[in-house]
Amino acid sequence: MAPKSEDVILPDRKLEMILSMKGGNGKGSYANNSQAQAKHARSMLHLLKETLDIIQLQPGSELPFTVADLGCSCGNNTLYIVDVIIKHMIERYEAMGYVPPPEFSVFFSDLPSNDFNTLFQLLPPISKGSMEECLATDNHRSYFAAGVPGSFYRRLFPTRSIDFFHSAFSLHWLSQVPESVQDKRSSAYNRGRVSIHNANQEAANAYRSQFQGDLAAFLKARSQEMKRGGSMFLVCLGRTSPDPTDQGGPGLLFGTHFQDSWNDLVLEGLITSEKRDAFNIPVYASSLQEFREVVETNGSFRINRLEIFKGGSPLVVSQPDDAIEVGRALANSCRSVVGVLVDVHIGEQLSEELFSRVEQRGSSHAKELLEQLQFYHIVASLSFK
């Protein structure tokens, strides 16, 4: 039986113990609603390979080349990217005459609530042949794999143990909703809103401070874990506006139809306004300058590349003229990334009501969504000094 909305209040539980993309293989799962992320990641492969080419190789070492994918989630996207990384590094070793190349070890890391089971079921078997044979072997992997549960805002690996860090579409997730945003006594209280989009200036400042503190903690942890000569490739939501309350694509995704659907539940008496206001999405789309300032303040990493990249729409539809399909895609896209948080906050039954309204509103504004819903990403290529 689904819990009533009064039974569970999100702030009473630590976010990192419940935050995850929607697991499994259902219609609202992340695995079945991350085609846009896959498309965006493929468009950045040349930038990823640029970063891989900067890594200093260690010929003759008996230690494996180690890769960590932070915020791996539970779909095929992470496996595709890891294959690209490993194959590119094998080719680099071979081109420089380092044959055979070293063994490769890949750590898939995400919060403990992540659906690691679905991810590991997608892993192909490891090849029994040599590394050279691996490149010609379909449906096999040429690396050893392990899962590492935990928040990437803290240490996850031993000192100087990782050659390359990769993290895509994850660093915009905050470690927590800023406390002042949910404090009724605070001027930053985000009354009537479920995200930073169109929030007041005090709430926006709280979100920005939370992001900057989280990113600083992330960089500090990686600076201890990365090997000398190692590199890092990061992709997260970014914005082109200097105004943090104008979140661009994420704002249109969560600050309009999703927001209005929460308001529908309040107007219909299904939840109280206080219950709505107690829910805030812990996502912040940073500006390029905000990101740069944190990296430069940390001082451990050299910036090879730092830019805003136009990623496109998060909605993937086969029939753009089908308003019902567009609405369903909007609802499933929202559900795949915040559905778990909504379920915990108001229960599965009311969650179904909420996303049903998101779908209806998306269908009513299908043409506008397809024309205006665009995501921008911050792409950062960093090397350990």
- 5 within some domain: no
Higher pLDDT, 380 or 129: 380
Would the pLDDT of 6 be above 60?
no
Buried b (16+ CB within 10 A) or exposed e, 21-56: bbbeeeebbbbebbbbbeebbeebeebbbebbebbe
Task: Tell me how crowded residue 66 is: count the other CB atoms within 10 A of its CB.
Answer: 23
Helices assigned H by DSSP within 110-200: 116-122, 131-134
pLDDT in tens, 61-83: 788 999 999 998 877 888 999 99
Return the pLDDT at 135.
46
Overall average pLDDT of the 290-319 stretch? 90
Structural contact between residues 10 and 345, judged by C-beta atoms closer than 8 angstroms: yes
Distance (Å, whole) CA 86 – CA 134: 10
- The set of residues, in sequence order, having a beta carbon less than 8 Å from that of 121 and lying 6+ positions away, is none
Find the domain containing 292 and state its range: 10-384
Q: Is residue 2 part of a domain?
A: no
Question: Is 352 part of a structural domain of the chain?
Answer: yes
**Looking at the domain assignment, is residue 288 inside a domain?**
yes
291 is a domain residue: yes
Do the domain assignments include residue 1?
A: no
Q: Say if 4 falls within a structural domain.
A: no
Alpha-carbon Rg for the chain in angstroms: 21
Q: What is the DSSP-derived secondary structure letter of residue 353?
A: H
CATH code, domain carrying 358:
3.40.50.150
Number of residues that this document lists for the chain: 385
Residue with tokens 């903690």: 217
Cα separation, 200 vs 206, whole angstroms: 10
Q: What does each C-alpha distance from 297 to 46, 215, 216, 226 come to in angstroms?
A: 28, 11, 8, 18
At 81 the pLDDT is 93
Sheet holding 301-312, edge to edge: 144-149, 104-110, 65-70, 162-168, 226-238, 375-384, 301-312
**Bridge partners of residue 233, in order along the sequence:** 166, 381
Query: How many domains, the chain?
Result: 1
193 found inside a domain: yes
Is residue 312 pLDDT above 90, yes or no? no
Instruction: Provide the pLDDT for residue 136.
Output: 40
